[in-house]
């Protein structure tokens, strides 16, 4: 019997760096990777009357950690992150990325990526960024969803979003999932977003601006370290820190002016 295999590529060189054996005589038919990059799920169509399986791959060890029986046919598989972390990934990008990412549709997940070019998330598109480093600006222009967790990001401007903007989230009683805080090396500008904003437990090297946001609930600015100043104005409802004050190196203005905020 001939074992089916999954090839592991170095995305910087497109070279095969490992192969992983699957069930003998099976036909790998689809693959999906979890947002944190820890697991890959491979749909395997089996011959004859053998039940189909999904192989669970440990991506750190490049080994099959488990098999899940799914009935007679397995042709595709998809990953859905925790509810508040947005829609399922339509594509997953990882490793070194040197070309500009101009996202115009669908859901793109950056997982453990190293990005040295501009990232733009446009109207109708969504991006979920986890465990990644973005050395060039991150720009959202009318994004459907924009989520950044456990990442290091350069200058950030997200405006006119129709859906949630989540830049770190601690998973407390007001949240349905946890999204680790980030390091923003530059300033973070969040004007005119209308699907809700959460900015929690981040370190911001420049200033933070939250203006003219609307949403089903108040914007949440919780436990951030802002090295420069904090500007909040025109937000409806007014932003909240849920009892977790933000540390600000410069001045505070508007709806975030109180020292306890």
Residue 77 domain flag: no
Residue 76 inside a domain? The answer is no
Query: What is the reported pLDDT for 97?
Result: 95
Residue ranges for the chain with pLDDT beneath 70: 1-3, 11-12, 24-25, 35-36, 46-51, 71-74, 79-85, 170-177
How many folded domains does the chain comprise?
Answer: 2
Question: What would the 3-class secondary structure string for 92-149 be?
Answer: EEEEEECCCEEECCEEEEEEEEEECCCEEEECCEEEEEECCEECCCEEEECCCEEEEE
Of 27, 45, 71, which residue constitutes the final position of a domain? 71
**Looking at the structure, do residues 67 and 95 belong to the same domain, yes or no?**
no
Is 259 a domain residue? no
Which two structure tokens, joined as six digits, stand for 28? 């790998």
Domain that residue 178 falls in: 83-254
Tell me, yes or no, whether 92 lies in a domain.
yes
User: Do 40 and 116 reside in the same domain of the chain?
Assistant: no
Q: What is the pLDDT of residue 1?
A: 47
DSSP-derived letter for residue 172 is: -
Tell which phi-psi region holds residue 227, choosing left (phi > 0), alpha (psi between -120 and 50) or beta: alpha
Give the pLDDT of residue 6: 85
**Domain assignment of residue 171, yes or no:** yes
Whether 147 and 25 map to the same domain: the answer is no
* Judgement on whether residues 221 and 92 belong to the same structural domain of the protein: yes
Q: What does the pLDDT read at residue 79?
A: 67
Q: Assess whether 175 and 135 both reside in one domain.
A: yes
What pLDDT score does 149 carry? 93
Last residue of a domain, which of 42, 71, 100? Answer: 71
| pLDDT at res. 42 | 86
Q: Tell me whether residue 190 is in a domain.
A: yes
């Amino acid at each position: 019997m001939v074992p089916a295999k999954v090839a592991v590529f170095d995305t910087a060189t497109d070279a095969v760096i490992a192969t992983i054996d699957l069930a003998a005589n099976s036909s790998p038919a689809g693959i999906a990777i979890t947002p944190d990059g820890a697991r890959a799920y491979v749909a395997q169509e089996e011959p004859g009357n053998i039940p189909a399986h999904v192989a669970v791959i440990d991506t750190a060890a490049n080994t099959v950690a488990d098999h899940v029986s799914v009935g007679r046919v397995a042709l595709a598989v998809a990953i859905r992150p925790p509810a508040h972390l947005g829609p399922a990934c339509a594509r997953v990008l990882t490793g070194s990325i040197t070309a500009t990412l101009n996202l115009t549709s669908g859901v793109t997940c950056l997982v453990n990526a190293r990005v040295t070019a501009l990232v733009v998330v446009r109207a109708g598109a969504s991006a979920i960024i986890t465990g990644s480093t973005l050395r060039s600006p991150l720009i959202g222009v009318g994004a459907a969803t924009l989520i950044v967790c456990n990442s290091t990001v350069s200058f950030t401007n997200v405006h006119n979003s129709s859906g949630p903007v989540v830049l770190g989230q601690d998973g407390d009683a007001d949240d349905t999932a946890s999204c680790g805080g980030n390091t923003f090396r530059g300033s973070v500008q969040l004007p005119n977003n209308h699907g809700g904003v959460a900015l929690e437990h981040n370190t911001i090297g420049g200033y933070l601006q939250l203006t003219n946001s609307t949403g089903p609930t108040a914007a949440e600015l919780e436990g951030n370290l802002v090295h420069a100043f904090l500007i909040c104005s025109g937000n409806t409802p007014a932003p909240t820190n849920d009892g977790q004050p933000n540390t600000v190196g410069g001045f505070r203005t508007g709806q975030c002016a109180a020292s306890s905020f």
